[in-house]
Amino acid sequence: MRFCDVLIEESFLNNQTLTYSCQDFDVVVGSRVWVKVRNRDMMAFVDAVYEANLSDFKFDINPIESTVDDAPIINQELYALAKYMSKMTVTPLVRCLQTVLPNKLRPQSSATKPKMEKGIQFVALDQLKVTQKQQAFIDTFKDKEFVRISEARAMYTGFRKLVERGVFRDVSREVRYEPVTIDRSYDVQTLTPVQQEVFDTVVFDKAQTYLLHGVTGSGKTEVYLQLAAKVLEDGKSVLFLVPEISLTPQMIDRVSMRFGEDVAIYHSGLNDQEKYEQYLRILHRKTRIVVGTRSAMFMPFDNLGLIVLDEEHDSSYKQGNMPMYHTSDLAIQRSQYHQCPLILGSASPRLETYARALKGVYTLLELPQRINNQFPKVTLIDTKQALYQKESAILTPQLMHAIQQRLDRREQIILVLNRRGYMTFLKDLETQEVLLCPNCDISLNYHKAQNVLKCHQCDYVTHQIPLGSDHKPLSIVGSGVGTQRLEEYLNQKFEGAKIARMDRDTTSKKGAHHRILTDFNNHKYDILVGTQMISKGLDIENVTLVGILNIDAALGREDFRSVEDTFNLILQASGRSGRGDKPGEVMIQTFNVDHYAVQYAVHNQYKSFFKQEMQYRKLAQYPPYTYLISIVISDEKEIVALNRATNFIKSLNPDNFKVLGPSLLIRIKGLQRVRVILKGRDLENMLAQVHLAYGIMDNKGGVRIDVNPIALT
């Protein structure tokens, strides 16, 4: 008799399976079935199928209700990847499977047929005469496999006559997501000797991780493209990963212009249907090139020849919710499965990554010079001096003068301020009490454009000014500068200048990234103001000035990575200036002009920064000298969260690692939070202990486990 073990989304089960008989059904591993659990119909993943006798079981076995799929919806490799993720992130396997699959294929969903769209396709010319318009229509579309009806009608309203004559025929296909791109041309470039050496070092058809450490503007992307060309010639697929949605249009441009193939796009900005369509395109081998963000790692390739993970230092590659995986860890697993190279590219690699390259775990490749051989001039502006002289705390006269110079020369400017909103710190004028979010222990921010008070942690929004003890509206005063306030200030000081703002508030709508960047690239805007998202990988030749404001907030963060993050922000933002023929300049306003992270970043000295920061990491025994696991337990009541954390610690057997905590964190989204940190050198043992402690918890809700966290704040 045939039986199957299935996984359902029930936290009490952890990774345990339920057994059902499936004698009357054609069930395969990786497919979905309907089962009854406690009198509820639930969709489940089939984890195993086998023959056994009913008498072998010491409990009653029920049959499955029905099958959802005739074939596996997840291939063997991705199923194994989900199991690896489950082990390394201490997350139930079913949740990892849900992460791997697009929403429409997840267990709680029903199977969905793809949407279809109608079009026409050229067949052959007939013997009848054609008009001039008809001939132009035929010439335009005769080589296209699919012409949308809207596209055909826009060129020739009488196109149906050609269909009726058999010159074209009606066809249909699955709806395709049309990627947005930035209107710009990229010429194929001859590799420099240094680039060629990097290219020649990469071994194809072998699992090996390469760290391409190249300064900003050194031509890393061109190396990626030429490596991809070699892989595509061999009939294999390529995966390009970027950290931000805002970078996908530029990468799509570069890839599609080079290879002329349809490029599958995959990122969080797509809706469920679009993600599903893109997933199916890869599954059915309709395209061999994918450009995407973190979630594109789970595309169902069957013949992957190259993985490129650009800007590998970026924190966006870390998943913020369980399973809290790092994309590079999964990329290594896929590289090993497909026996293909993995390229990690960055001008400022994570310290852990560079340390592995120096040890020989990864192969180190270097591009130490810019293609145009000129780095931007960097000027440090001491904000303390500006305050002493009662100058503007937003933009100093020196930076204001530099902005005006660029505007006069019709050049463009990028200003990076990693705080959105208008005023970032609000308090009552009379009591001096900070205006806190009712759900979180942090200050509300004032957003002038919407005239609201907003919490940047839980997204609480109110139009009402809170009442004081006398039941009258508080007298609120604010301080701090956000991107909205900076934009307003620039509009006041530079009348006539066209200014765009790019932050979470302005990019929440679909396609907003594309619209802002395209308009800026086409010089519809003179100044681009934004948070750190605009410091990542943008390549706009007319930008000759980058201003970096208030980096002291990043330096002052109570986290062991704050110095590294500050160094990265300066180095990456600086790289946006002078990428064309015109010389670039970078101006940095800071209270900490002598800080080593600032000084090393200003002089583009990554290796010197690496050596000094590694000394501090070694003294404090922080990664890469140890591994960390963070466990945060949340509850509405502080005492409950503390008790659960204490019981978790009691379940551990810390022979060769330290347990730090429990420690109270600030309240977020109405929940009190308690954190426990494990620190040690034996990650396998630490993981085994956490799996055990997590497995015996009666209530697994409100538990957030982060292996190798990128931040502890």
CATH 3.40.50.300 fits 193-367, yes or no: yes
Within 8 A by CB and 6+ apart from 387, the residues are 393
Buried b (16+ CB within 10 A) or exposed e, 237-260: bbbbbbbbbbbbbbbbbbbbebbe
Mean pLDDT, all residues of the chain: 86
CB-count exposure of residue 647 (10 Å: 0-12, 13-18, 19+): middle
Residue with tokens 């990693």: 418
Alpha carbons 11 and 259: distance in angstroms, whole number = 46
DSSP notation for 514-554: HHHHHHHHTTS-SEEEESGGGGSS---TTEEEEEEE-THHH
> How high is the pLDDT of residue 109?
40
Using a pLDDT cut of 70, give the percent of the chain over it. 90
Q: Do domains 377-424+480-616 and 627-707 have the same CATH topology?
A: no
Alpha carbons 156 and 279: distance in angstroms, whole number = 34
pLDDT confidence bin for 73, thresholds 50/70/90: confident
pLDDT confidence bin for 110, thresholds 50/70/90: very low
> How high is the pLDDT of residue 392?
59
- Taking 80 as the threshold, does the pLDDT of residue 352 lie above it? yes
Peptide bond before residue 323 is cis, with ω within 30 degrees of 0? yes
- Tell me if residue 621 falls in helix, strand or coil: coil
DSSP notation for 666-710: EEETTEEEEEEEEEES-HHHHHHHHHHHHHT-S--TTEEEEES-S
pLDDT (tens digit per residue) in 613-635: 999 999 999 999 999 999 999 99
Compute how many other C-beta atoms are within 10 angstroms of the C-beta atom of residue 514: 20
> How high is the pLDDT of residue 427?
67
Buried b (16+ CB within 10 A) or exposed e, 557-575: eeebbbbbbbbbbbbbbbb
Single-letter code of the amino acid located at 439: N
- Tell me if residue 428 falls in helix, strand or coil: strand
Top mean pLDDT of 102-106, 115-119, 223-227, 395-399 is at 223-227
By the 8 A CB rule, do 526 and 407 touch?
yes
By the 8 A CB rule, do 86 and 96 touch?
yes
Tokens of 695: 């497995």
What does DSSP say about strands 304-309 and 341-346: parallel, antiparallel, or unpaired? parallel
What is the average per-residue pLDDT within 517-526?
89
Helical axes 93-100 vs 76-89, angle rounded to 10°: 130
Alpha carbons 312 and 326: distance in angstroms, whole number = 10
CA angle, corner 588, sides to 585 and 591, nearest 5? Answer: 160
Alpha carbons 101 and 98: distance in angstroms, whole number = 5
pLDDT confidence bin for 100, thresholds 50/70/90: very high
Residue with tokens 């279809």: 116
pTM: 0.82
- Taking 70 as the threshold, does the pLDDT of residue 422 lie above it? no
pLDDT (tens digit per residue) in 524-558: 999 999 887 777 667 788 989 999 988 887 887 77
By the 8 A CB rule, do 337 and 347 touch?
no
By the 8 A CB rule, do 303 and 235 touch?
yes
Q: Which of 407-411, 568-572, 604-608 has the lowest mean pLDDT?
A: 568-572
Tokens of 638: 């502080």
By the 8 A CB rule, do 513 and 179 touch?
no
Alpha carbons 551 and 570: distance in angstroms, whole number = 8
Compute how many other C-beta atoms are within 10 angstroms of the C-beta atom of residue 708: 19
Q: So what CATH class is 2-105?
A: alpha beta
Single-letter code of the amino acid located at 376: P
Tokens of 280: 């199916």
Within 8 A by CB and 6+ apart from 139, the residues are none
Largest CA distance in the chain: 90
pLDDT confidence bin for 181, thresholds 50/70/90: very low
By the 8 A CB rule, do 204 and 238 touch?
no
Q: Is residue 685 within a helix (H) or strand (E), and if so which, with residue range? A: helix 683-695
Within 8 A by CB and 6+ apart from 413, the residues are 403, 406, 407, 526, 527, 528, 543, 544, 545, 546, 547
Residue 588 pairs in a beta bridge with 380, 548
- Taking 90 as the threshold, does the pLDDT of residue 63 lie above it? yes
Peptide bond before residue 193 is cis, with ω within 30 degrees of 0? no
Alpha carbons 7 and 260: distance in angstroms, whole number = 42
By the 8 A CB rule, do 502 and 519 touch?
no
Tokens of 178: 């049309």
Q: Which of 219-223, 451-455, 540-544 has the lowest mean pLDDT?
A: 451-455
Tokens of 456: 């940047």
Phi, psi of 502 (to 5 degrees): -130, 105
> How high is the pLDDT of residue 373?
61
> How high is the pLDDT of residue 677?
95
pLDDT (tens digit per residue) in 642-694: 999 999 999 998 888 999 989 998 888 889 999 999 999 999 999 999 999 99
* Cα distance between the two ends of the chain: 54
**Domain range list for the chain:** 2-105, 116-174, 193-367, 377-424+480-616, 627-707
Phi, psi of 96 (to 5 degrees): -70, -40
Single-letter code of the amino acid located at 396: T
Question: 627-707 has which fold?
Answer: Alpha-Beta Plaits (3.30.70)
- Taking 80 as the threshold, does the pLDDT of residue 23 lie above it? yes
Using a pLDDT cut of 90, give the percent of the chain over it. 47
What is the average per-residue pLDDT within 487-510?
85
By the 8 A CB rule, do 173 and 146 touch?
yes
Residue 658 pairs in a beta bridge with 679
Alpha carbons 39 and 206: distance in angstroms, whole number = 50
Question: 377-424+480-616 has which fold?
Answer: Rossmann fold (3.40.50)
Tokens of 245: 């949605």
Compute how many other C-beta atoms are within 10 angstroms of the C-beta atom of residue 50: 10
